[in-house]
């Protein structure tokens, strides 16, 4: 069934060290595992894409089931002569994978809603449903060596980036088995192995920290990018502009991904920003605006953006026009500043999962019943993970003082004993 993972992994590492130019063997291997693309520089794009999640199928399989997909919404470009292609290829396996991943995130968020209302999850809970295409498309276009950092709406990205449902639910419920040991909560999901850097409560934090991630990548000569995700509300923070200046000044390989869901809690974008576009805020950083509800658009745009960064041209902004169905958080009903008709309209016209579902049904890769049973299976999986997390133990008492510092076994606390 294609090349063994160990060899592909070795080739990936070779690639990362910039030895891609060496030898026909390398190129012939990479061609076997890529999809048909028609952009200039596609060879480089092949190498970047080929060692992601799709690398393990044979060429014959690819050619047989590869279908063209249109990306209907045109890209808006800023300081770029040519954008990503308005069409791409996909396969049955990919479509089913995207459907499954997005449906998993959707079902997870709905379950989190129910758990919050039954007080299993406390504090603040910011849900990602509606924005799944951004997470899935982003992760699809990146490799495991790239870094992702986001703000507090991090459940979807945590799952897409390889986190398990059980760890996510455990963290939301404050259990010991959570990804942060139950000490972080909804806004502090991290996964160091998969280079998912969280998970931050203060608006705008992701940009300077993301610049730092990309600075380290450049410093250590790694062929990887950092993606810093923030929202339309955060775009007016001073630290975003500072981070942009630093990244541009030093040509850091940073993709600034703006998840524009048009509301900063209760304030619409036109009430908070003089300029309501976010991809062209800074004239010296190129940007593009895409339809964030189309997983293919996100995938193509991020591939394009990664190529831009890897060729040493510095940072780039990718603005994803997306939408959140829930309110800002579970404490916000989400209906005082927008109408139910608007939310329903977006669900009908632009829902990311429906987009992929329509493609699957049109191409006959699965029937409606198949998808329904997949939905049921996903629901069962999510609910089982939630139930298992509910049964998990709370953190131990001595976890209170653990991890304040590294190597803090000798740290003592003095004072009034209580």
Tokens read off for 249: 């000044």
**C-beta closer to other proteins: residue 83 or 174:** 174
Rg of the chain in Å (alpha carbons): 22
Site for other proteins in 99-138 (CB under 8 A): 122-124
Residue (97 or 188) nearer to other proteins, CB: 188
Residues 316-375 that bind other proteins (CB under 8 A): 331, 336-337
Side-chain half-sphere CA neighbours of 192 within 13 A: 2
Per the CB < 8 A criterion, the answer to whether 191 and 149 are in contact is no
What percent of the chain is helix, strand and coil (3-state, nearest 5)?
45, 10, 45
Residues 258-297 as x/- pattern, contact with other proteins by CB under 8 A: ------xxxx---xxx------------------------
Stretch that binds other proteins, among 7-15, 159-167, 169-177, 218-226 (CB under 8 A): 169-177
Q: Which residues, 175 to 204, sit near other proteins by CB under 8 A?
A: 175, 180, 182-188, 200-204
* Interface with other proteins, residue 404, by CB under 8 A: yes
405 near other proteins, rule: CB under 8 A: no
The one segment of 171-179, 218-226, 346-354, 380-388 that binds other proteins by CB under 8 A: 171-179
Task: Quote the CA–CA distance of 84 and 288 in Å, as a whole number.
Answer: 9
The verdict on 394 binding other proteins (CB under 8 A) reads: yes
Between 219 and 401, name the residue whose CB sits nearer to other proteins: 401
Cβ within 8 Å of residue 359, ≥6 positions away: 69, 90, 95
Strand partners, 230: 258
8 Å CB contact between 231 and 264: yes
- At closest approach, how far in Å is the CB of 314 from other proteins? 25
- Using alpha carbons only, what angle is made at residue 325 by residues 209 and 203, rounded to the nearest 5 degrees? 20
Ramachandran assignment for 199, one of left (phi > 0), alpha (psi -120 to 50 degrees), beta (any other): left
List residues near other proteins by CB under 8 A: 122-124, 171, 174-175, 180, 182-188, 200-204, 233-234, 236-239, 264-267, 271-273, 331, 336-337, 394-395, 397, 399-401, 404, 413, 415-416, 418
């Amino acid at each position: 069934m294609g090349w063994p993972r160990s060899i592909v992994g070795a080739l990936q590492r070779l690639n990362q060290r910039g030895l891609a130019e060496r030898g026909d063997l390398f190129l012939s291997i990479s061609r076997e595992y890529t999809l048909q693309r028609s952009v200039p520089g596609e060879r480089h794009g092949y190498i970047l894409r080929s060692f992601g999640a799709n690398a393990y199928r044979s060429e014959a399989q690819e050619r047989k089931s590869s279908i063209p997909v249109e990306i209907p919404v045109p890209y808006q470009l800023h300081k770029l002569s040519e954008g990503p292609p308005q069409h791409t290829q996909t396969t049955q396996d990919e479509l089913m994978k995207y459907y499954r991943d997005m449906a998993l995130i959707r079902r997870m968020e709905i379950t989190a809603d129910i758990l919050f209302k039954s007080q299993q999850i406390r504090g603040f809970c910011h849900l990602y449903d509606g924005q799944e295409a951004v997470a899935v498309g982003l992760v699809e276009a990146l490799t495991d060596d790239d870094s992702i950092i986001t703000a507090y709406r991090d459940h979807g990205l945590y799952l897409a980036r390889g986190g398990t449902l059980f760890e996510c639910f455990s963290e939301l419920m404050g259990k010991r088995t959570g990804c942060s040991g139950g000490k972080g909560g909804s806004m502090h999901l991290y996964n160091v192995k998969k280079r998912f850097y969280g998970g931050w409560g203060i608006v705008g934090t992701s940009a300077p920290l993301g610049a730092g991630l990309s600075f380290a990548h450049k410093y250590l000569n790694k062929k990887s990018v950092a993606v810093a995700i923030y929202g339309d509300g955060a775009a007016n923070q001073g630290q975003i502009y500072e981070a942009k200046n630093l990244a541009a000044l030093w040509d850091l390989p940073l993709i600034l991904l703006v998840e524009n869901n048009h509301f900063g809690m209760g304030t619409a974008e036109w009430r908070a920003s003089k300029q309501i576009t976010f991809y062209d805020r800074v004239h010296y950083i190129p940007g593009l605006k895409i339809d964030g509800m189309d997983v293919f658009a996100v995938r193509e745009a991020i591939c394009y953006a990664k190529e831009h960064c890897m060729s040493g041209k510095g940072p780039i902004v990718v603005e994803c026009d997306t939408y959140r169905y829930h309110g800002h958080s579970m404490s916000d009903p989400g209906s005082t500043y927008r109408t139910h008709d608007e939310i329903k309209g977006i669900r009908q016209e632009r829902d990311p999962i429906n987009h992929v579902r329509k493609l699957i049904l049109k191409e006959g890769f699965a029937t409606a019943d198949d998808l329904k049973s997949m939905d049921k299976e996903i629901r069962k999986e999510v609910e089982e993970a939630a139930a298992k997390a509910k049964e998990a133990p709370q953190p131990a008492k001595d976890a209170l003082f653990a991890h304040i510092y590294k190597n803090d076994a000798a740290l003592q606390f003095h004072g009034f004993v209580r």
